[in-house]
Structure 1
Amino acid sequence: MNSIILNEKAKQIQLLLTDCDGVLTDAGVYYNEFGESLKKFNLRDGMGVERLRKFAGTETGIISGENSAALHLRAEKLKITEVHAGIKDKAALLAGIMQKHNLQPEQIAFIGDDHNDLGIMQLVGFSACPADALPAVQQQVDYICKSKGGEGCFREFAELIITARNHNSDAYQARKGVTLQTGRNIDKGQPCYIIAEIGINHNGSLETAKKLIDEAVAAKACAVKFQKRTPEVCVPKDQWEVMRDTPWGRMSYIDYKRKTEFGIEEYAAIDRYCKELGIDWFVSPWDTGSVDFMEQFDTVMYKLASACLTDFDLIKRILFTGKPLMLSTGMSTMKEIEAAVALIRSYDEAYPFFIAHSTSAYPCKLEELNLNMIPTLMKKFPGVPIGYSGHETGLSTTVAAVTLGATFVERHFTLDRAMWGSDHAASVEPQGFQRLVRDIRDIETALGDGIKQVYESEIGPMKRLRVHINPVEVQVQKDKVLA
């Protein structure tokens, strides 16, 4: 089928129905130690569901001949509510689905791979299959994906629909900003997204972490951020047995790093606590194993620490999750920043990411903050939200970053700068963070819209002080105020 017809079919799609085994999974059979059946889902396909919803206004439904707990859990995570499992006659379901959603057949697409998918494929407006579908299926469908089942075929088909439904490519490319799953939008013209970086300032104490979260909420921060490492990967082996003085006594460096690292229980508690308090949370993973670990939690994004900007394996692992990615650019050259951005765009031209200007010195000297890099990055990467990750002492320079266009800011956060640990000295205490948020919000209000006007509060002084007054212009300004 030629590309024009494909495009016409694709741009009408408002609901994409998919088989599960052989499309969202590789159709493999896996069992855990208890003999329970497992499913291997592709994370890129999951991102396709979210992107369909966000960029095309197209919802996803699952119709599967199999019925498993894994299928329902995956659907729940992706917020797919149209789920039909254990179905033998898929075509018979279609009439009810169309009536429920008030859709016509040409507004529905289906992607499947086996004989039991042929019936429904004949009824919908647009059909597709993975590259490894049965020959009989490949002969019938409108579109054969280049990817196999469980290896991105759903995402490929989803992107075809997204592109078609946003057929004005200029408008599609003009989409700016990053919208998080909590609904917050990071972009020009939006309130600055303010991040309290707890990092490792919890010193291995969940109680301290919760106090920091409490203080961040009190300061009206938008998010808190932690750091996650696998000590055995991130600590050089020649440093493992180096002895250090710590608050818990003298111990090897590797044991110290293990002691300050949160595990599943702590992060599960943090996840619950942040959701209860209504504050976003996420982490900077320092190795691929830490990304695997954090995927147990539904965080709003990942941050790539400045030290990891050249770690392409780590970047690729984060991209595979589909979650928005913040790049921090301390200790980096412009070429290294460009290379990281090129990697992201080669993975997905429209992948949601943003860039934080930063200088990796703790604390950083004023003359090395180089805040003018913020407009430089804005010019270099148009449409990409640019922010600031600061390590200086004082607050005014972070506020200044917002006046220069930073759409998000991040500062290290501590209960007490005198606490033991490497990051406390360059951190902001609770009262200071409250002032920082207040001052940023005041600046946002004061910046206005850049359009010159006479305010109602000025009309009285104008009448008293000006010799020559245009009464028509005064009335126009009054009318604008009333409007």
Structure 2
Amino acid sequence: MIAEVGVNYDNDMEYAEELIKAAKRTGVDAVKFQTYTPSKIVSASSPKYWKDDRPDETQYQFFARSNTFYHEETKELSRLCRENDISFMSTPFDLDSVELLDSLDVPAFKIASADITNYPLLRRAARTGKPVLLSTGASTIGEIEQAVEIVESEGNEDIVILHCILAYPTPVEHSNLLMIKCLRDIFPKYEIGWSDHVIPDDSVLVPTIAAVLGASVIEKHFTTDRNRPGNDHFHSVDEALMTRLVGNIELAMSSLGEYLKKPMPIEEPARLNARRSIAAYRQISAGDKFTDDNLILLRPGSGIHPQFLEHIIGRRAKRDVMPGHLLEWDDIF
């Protein structure tokens, strides 16, 4: 489980620390930020592709005002995560950011959906030898295959492929969660995950379903207050919802069991006492024939199995049999 803080820190280091501590309390495995230089990610006039409260602002202007977490600030975030015993991650958007994050010994590199065709970035992240999480929003299968091949070409096969819809927010009906199963079929050697941009309901159902469908890594935007201004807070989960999501997934995983139908140990008492055996419906005297009229199937299942009913009908009783008696083979000749 990854709590995606991203730019939700609102340029405030104290608030970033608050987010880290809140994320730790929820039980997630990692807190993730973003590391970039605006001039290395977007041209000055590039329009935004997401909805927020500043529709006239360009991507460059957005990234410029959000870009306070670099170098010393990024190192401080890493230190705070270590101090709170939670993994620090950050998405690099340029080669220098990969270098910086590698020097901080991040456990893995998450590549944003928008950079799945940024082959130099993929190669540099792959060369670290650390796991590479590929987000696949707005991608074709061919583009995903090409990205995987590039990472593999650097000798790195520690890859997680994240299904993602690159729309902020993602309407529930556009989540396309069956793509998780599709990706599992196409890339059977790799773990598949889900990077979630859906406005959460009170049960955080969508990422829970993703886990049930086979997503082994879940990334969800995180905040302490979904009403804070900004483009990501409103579709994030807060501490209570993230705690619920972690619990949902733990419960879901414990419920899955094996891909095999067989009696479970917990079912053994029911298997014995709720199943039926062949029994006498009325008194049967020695020498009488067993018939449909004087036999019945009764619980428990500790006697002769019902599958032998037709085999017994027409045979005779060796001894007197009382009503309700579960037949034994010694009663029959």
Superposed counterparts of 1:311-322, under 5 Å: 311-322=118-129
In structure 1, the residue matched to 2:40 is: 233
Distance 1:357 1:256 in 2: 25
- 1:427 corresponds, among 208, 224, 236, to 236
In structure 2, the residue matched to 1:396 is: 205
CA spacing shift, 1:261–1:472, aligned 2, 3 Å: farther
Distance 1:379 1:457 in 2: 33
In structure 1, the residue matched to 2:325 is: none
- 2:140 corresponds, among 333, 338, 363, to 333
Distance 1:252 1:303 in 2: 21
Instruction: For residues 238-281 of structure 1, give each alpha carbon's deviation from its aligned partner in whole angstroms, at most 9, with x where no partner exists.
Output: 369xxxx999xx99964872554312232222222212222112
In structure 1, the residue matched to 2:246 is: 437
1:406 aligned onto 2:212: no
Q: AA paired with 2:236?
A: S
CA spacing shift, 1:315–1:471, aligned 2, 3 Å: farther
In structure 2, the residue matched to 1:210 is: 17
For structure 2, the 5+ residue unaligned runs are 278-300, 306-333
Q: AA paired with 2:16?
A: A
Residues 44, 60 of structure 2: 8 Å contact kept: no
Distance 1:356 1:399 in 2: 15
Q: AA paired with 2:118?
A: D
CA spacing shift, 1:439–1:471, aligned 2, 3 Å: farther
In structure 1, the residue matched to 2:189 is: 383
Match of 1:310, SS?
coil
- 1:306 corresponds, among 95, 98, 113, to 113
Identity %: 36
Q: AA paired with 1:467?
A: R
Distance 2:268 2:94 in 1: 61
Distance 1:456 1:379 in 2: 32
Instruction: For residues 396-415 of structure 1, give each alpha carbon's deviation from its aligned partner in whole angstroms, at most 9, with x where no partner exists.
Output: 11111111111111111111
Instruction: For residues 144-175 of structure 1, give each alpha carbon's deviation from its aligned partner in whole angstroms, at most 9, with x where no partner exists.
Output: xxxxxxxxxxxxxxxxxxxxxxxxxxxxxxxx
Distance 1:467 1:368 in 2: 49
Match of 1:440, SS?
helix
Instruction: For residues 46-71 of structure 1, give each alpha carbon's deviation from its aligned partner in whole angstroms, at most 9, with x where no partner exists.
Output: xxxxxxxxxxxxxxxxxxxxxxxxxx
Distance 2:35 2:120 in 1: 16
Distance 2:211 2:53 in 1: 38
1:367 aligned onto 2:173: yes
Instruction: For residues 183-236 of structure 1, give each alpha carbon's deviation from its aligned partner in whole angstroms, at most 9, with x where no partner exists.
Output: xxxxxxxxxxx1111111101111111111111111100111111110122231
In structure 2, the residue matched to 1:358 is: 164
Distance 1:340 1:392 in 2: 25
How far 1:360 moved relative to its partner?
Answer: 0.7
How far 1:463 moved relative to its partner?
Answer: 5.1
Larger C-alpha radius of gyration, 1 or 2?
2
Normalising by structure 2, what TM-score?
0.75
Residues 328, 357 of structure 1: 8 Å contact kept: yes
Residues 138, 166 of structure 2: 8 Å contact kept: yes
Match of 1:362, SS?
coil
Residues 414, 430 of structure 1: 8 Å contact kept: yes
How far 1:345 moved relative to its partner?
Answer: 2.0
Residues 36, 67 of structure 2: 8 Å contact kept: no
Residues 198, 235 of structure 2: 8 Å contact kept: yes
Residues 193, 216 of structure 2: 8 Å contact kept: yes
CA spacing shift, 1:404–1:272, aligned 2, 3 Å: same
Distance 2:165 2:195 in 1: 8
